[in-house]
Every structure is written in C-alpha cells, then in structure tokens.
Amino acid sequence: MQPTVRDPNPPLTRSVEDYLKAIYHLSSQGGFAATSDIAAMLEVSPPSVSGMVKRLSEMGLIEHVPYRGVQLTSQGRRAALRMIRRHRILELYLTQHLGYDWGGVHDEAERLEHAVSDELIERMASALGQPQYDPHGDPIPTAAGDIEEAELVSLADAHVGTKLELRQVGTQDTARLRYFAEQGLTPGVLLTVSERQPFNGPTTIALVPSGDPRVVGRELAQLLWCQEIGS
C-alpha cells in the first residue's frame, strides 16, 4: 500500500478549461497567445497566468516559449475544442428550447460548459438536429474534434456590398486598438461594405444595425479580419 499515488490523468478543472479556450481563441490566427492577452481575456492578473502556464505545460496541454507566449499542443487543442463544442451547443439549446436571447446566453453557457456530461451535450445536439452553427453563427466543432475553419477576409479585401462580422483585430498596438474601440470596431460587430476608393483608398462601411458609417484607411482595414455572413 503506497502512500497515495497522484492520478496521472485527473479531470480538468474549470480554470484549466477556461484557460485552454482562451488560448485557443487568442492563437487561432496562427501565432502565440501572449500572457497579458490571456490575463485580459480571463480577467486575472498576469502572474496568475504565468503560474497556470507552468502547470498547463507540465500537463502537456500547451507549449510555452518564455517571454513569447504559448500554443496549444494537439492534446490541449482537443480539450479546447471539446469545451467550445459544449459552449456553442449550450448556447444554441438555451436559445432554441428555453427562450434565451443572445445576450444572456453566453454567461450561462460559460458556467454550464464545465458541468455538463458528454452524454447531456450529445442529447442536446440530437434534440437540435446535430447543428453546425451556434446562435452567433460560429461553427460548432464535431464530437470528434473537427471544426470548420472560418474563412476570414481582411476588410481591405472584402467585396463592396457584402455583410461581414468583425472577428479579429490583427494588431496589439495600443493606440490602434484604442482607436478601433472608439470607432466601435470590436470583434463581434456586424457591418456592410458600402464602397472602396480606388488606388488603395479607404473602405467605407456601415455598421449594423445602426447604419452609422465609418471610413477606414487601407492600413487599418488590413488589420480587421472579418467573416462573411451567410445569406
């Protein structure tokens, strides 16, 4: 009788699961997730992130390059996609079957995603007819862990007349980020492309649903990664 052996594969905790999701989202555009960005997304202090990063890499869930950032291992990616599947199915189930609106649904899913069993998620998925998109149009990963890669287009390249959802802002520059925020250009915003001036000129857009116009120069437009909203 040995003095208690540590379980080599303990279930992931709520914190761990939320960190993995944050890292997935922050590194989805191919790079590293920075400590301070993870901290901002999860509303914890940077040292808390450093501490968790150490644990996660010891668990084999992430790869850490000191002072650079982190990336998910394939094991970490699998775990992150599992949580994203749960989150998105929950959001859809709550809106479709329990009358939630887009607003309230995210916070509820953020807590429930850690408490539901795989069985419950699959029962909800069945009740929904094996859906592919959540209420916000985001793709739902399959139970096997495959996800439709969103085809993002920079605003500078988007065709005039298309309707877009702003999905990612491709800079970490504080001044630019602050400017985008002032303009109401934050991830999740819907817009239509009104016109574009020739010779690398600015793009004019209209925000949805307000209709407010914005004129965005080419340099900044290249930083705004958008997803076309299906018909």
Partner DNA sequence: GAAACGCCTTAGTCTATACTAATAGTGAGA
Partner DNA sequence: TCTCACTATTAGTATAGACTAAGGCGTTTC
Binding residues for Mn ion (CB under 5 A) = 18, 106, 110
C-alpha 189/C-alpha 72 separation (Å) is 27
**Shortest distance, position 118 Cβ to its own copies, whole Å:** 11
Work out how close the CB of 63 gets to DNA at its nearest, in angstroms, rounded to a whole number: 12
For DNA, the binding residues in 53-72 under the rule CB under 7 A are 53-55, 64, 66-67, 69
203 beta partners: 196, 216
Instruction: Calculate the CA dihedral of residues 98, 103, 105, 111 and round it to 10 degrees.
Output: -150
Query: By C-beta, is 53 or 223 nearer to DNA?
Result: 53
Residues that bind its own copies (CB under 8 A): 94, 97-100, 104, 107-108, 111-112, 114-117, 119-120, 123-124, 127
Question: Taking CB within 5 to 8 Å according to partner kind, which of Mn ion, DNA, its own copies, none is near residue 106?
Answer: Mn ion
Residues 6+ apart with CB under 8 A from 164: 153, 155, 158, 190, 191, 192, 193, 226, 227, 228, 229
What lies within 8 Å, CB to CB, of 114 at 6+ separation is: 14, 17, 18, 83
Answer with the entry of its own copies, Mn ion, DNA, none that 191 interacts with (C-beta below 5 to 8 A by kind): none
Contacts from 117-122 at CB under 8 Å and sequence distance 24+?
Answer: 118/143, 121/85, 121/86, 121/89, 121/90
Task: Please report how close the Cβ of residue 97 comes to its own copies at its closest, in angstroms.
Answer: 7
Using CB under 7 A, which residues numbered 126 to 165 contact DNA? none
The residues that touch DNA, with contacts defined as CB under 7 A, are 4, 6, 10, 13-16, 34-37, 39, 42-55, 64, 66-67, 69, 174
